[in-house]
């Protein structure tokens, strides 16, 4: 009996050890290039490790049973008539419930840190100038910040391109340029069908919906060029609907901005 328990404990610790090792050493995700990304990856790691423990554990249990309890040729008759075991069943109702609850609370926390729980419709300034309903997206900034400090950009999506309008400079660009480490606030609208704005390196995605503008806020943290991918089936060239986001140093960004802005506009 003691022997059996020792084996069980040994196997369980091995499963945990392997899962933690894989969880910390195998990276399945692209580089992290926004302040959302490390927060996301933290959740990913936790889910990955818990998932591995359960998966490896169950697989071992199934394969072990197939070997250990397989019917030998000379055997007749049945296994033991075990129909249930109340304490076991309570145990494996309660443990998964607790795990699920903890994961839920933790991912709520992550979501809050990513700015998902901010109410977007309470933005007074925007309400006044713009009575339409803005649908929730991901937002990292408080209401005031949206109108004041952020770089605000208007995105319009159409079959099969993204256009980025910089209202302060009164110009439209096919490439999204943003300065590093600064909050960017985008209002997105579609001209035809549903599209989506996805930057894998930023771990953010938001659908762009005709008739219902959505908002997406993010802060890039790494200089570089990343793909913007449309992630909602939008017609034959859906696979080709891509653009680039170029994250650059403040000064480079300003050069680019000044080169493009329409000078005739009075500020």
Partner 1 sequence: MTISIDPQKTNNESLQPKGWLRYFSFSLDHKVIGIQYLVCGFLFYLIGGTLASAIRIELASPMSDFMPRDVYNQVLTLHGTIMIFLWIVPVVNGAFGNYLIPFYVGARDMAFPRLNAVAFWLIPPSGLMLVASYFVEGAAQAGWTAYPPLSITTPQSGQIIWIMSVLLLGGSSIFGGINFIATIIKLRRPGLKLMQLPMYCWAMLGTSILVVLSTPVLAGTLILLSFDIIANTGFFNPVLGGNVVVYQHLFWFYSHPAVYIMVLPAFGLVSEILPVHARKPLFGYTTMVFSIMGIVVLGLVVWAHHMFTSGTPPWMRLFFTIATAFIAVPTGIKFFNWVATLWGGKISINSAMLFSCGFIINFVFGGITGVALAQVPFDIHVHDTYFVVAHFHYIVYGGTVFIIFSSIYHWFPKVTGKMLNEKLGILHFIITFIGFNLCFAPQHWLGLNGMPRRVAEYDPQFQFVNQISSLGALLMAISTIPFLINIFLSMRNGQVSGDNPWKALTPEWLTSSPPPVENWEGEAPLVEEPYGYGKQFSEQK
In the numeric block, the tokens 């979501």 are attached to 111
- The residue from 184, 230, 245, 247 that contacts Cu ion (CB under 5 A) is 230
229 binds, among Cu ion, partner 1, none (CB under 5 to 8 A by kind): partner 1
Separation CA 190–CA 208 (nearest Å) = 6
By beta-carbon proximity to partner 1, the closer residue of 37 and 153 is: 37
In whole angstroms, the minimum distance from the beta carbon of 98 to partner 1 comes to 10
By beta-carbon proximity to Cu ion, the closer residue of 53 and 209 is: 209
Separation CA 134–CA 189 (nearest Å) = 10
Contact (Cβ atoms closer than 8 angstroms) between residue 257 and residue 177 = yes
Within 153-212, the residues that bind Cu ion by CB under 5 A are 195
Q: What is the side-by-side order of every strand in the sheet holding 176-179?
A: 176-179, 242-248, 224-229, 195-199, 204-208
By beta-carbon proximity to partner 1, the closer residue of 85 and 251 is: 85
Site map 7..36 versus Cu ion, x via CB under 5 A: ------------------------------
The helix-helix angle for 36-68 and 86-113 (nearest 10°) equals: 160
By beta-carbon proximity to partner 1, the closer residue of 10 and 117 is: 117
55 binds, among partner 1, Cu ion, none (CB under 5 to 8 A by kind): partner 1
By beta-carbon proximity to partner 1, the closer residue of 119 and 264 is: 119
Cα(first)–Cα(last) distance of the chain, in Å? 83
Separation CA 176–CA 111 (nearest Å) = 25
- Collapsing DSSP to helix, strand or coil, 122 comes out as coil
87 binds, among Cu ion, partner 1, none (CB under 5 to 8 A by kind): none
Binding residues (CB under 5 A) for Cu ion: these are: 195, 230, 234, 241
């Amino acid at each position: 009996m003691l022997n059996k328990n020792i084996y069980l404990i040994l196997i369980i610790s091995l499963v945990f050890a392997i899962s933690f090792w894989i969880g910390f050493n195998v990276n399945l995700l692209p580089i992290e290039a926004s302040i959302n990304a490390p927060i996301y990856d933290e959740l990913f790691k936790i889910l990955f490790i818990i998932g591995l423990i359960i998966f490896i554990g169950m697989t071992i249990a199934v394969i072990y049973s197939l070997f250990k309890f397989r019917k030998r040729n000379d055997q007749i008759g049945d296994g033991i008539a075990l129909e249930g075991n109340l304490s076991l069943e309570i145990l494996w109702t309660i443990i998964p419930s607790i795990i699920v609850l903890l994961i839920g609370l933790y991912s709520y926390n992550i979501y809050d840190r990513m700015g998902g729980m901010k109410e977007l419709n309470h933005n007074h300034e925007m309400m006044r100038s713009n009575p339409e309903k803005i649908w929730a997206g991901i937002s990292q900034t408080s209401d005031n910040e949206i109108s004041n400090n952020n770089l605000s950009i208007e995105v319009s999506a159409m079959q099969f391109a993204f256009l980025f309008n910089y209202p302060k400079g009164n110009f439209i660009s096919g490439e999204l340029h943003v300065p590093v480490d600064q909050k960017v606030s985008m209002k997105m609208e579609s001209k035809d069908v549903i599209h989506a704005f996805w930057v894998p390196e930023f771990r953010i995605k938001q659908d762009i919906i005709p008739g219902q503008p959505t908002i997406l806020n993010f802060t890039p943290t790494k200089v570089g060029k990343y793909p913007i991918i449309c992630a909602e089936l939008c017609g034959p060239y859906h696979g080709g609907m891509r653009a680039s986001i170029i994250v650059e140093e403040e000064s480079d960004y300003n050069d680019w901005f000044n080169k493009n802005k329409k000078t005739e506009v009075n500020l």
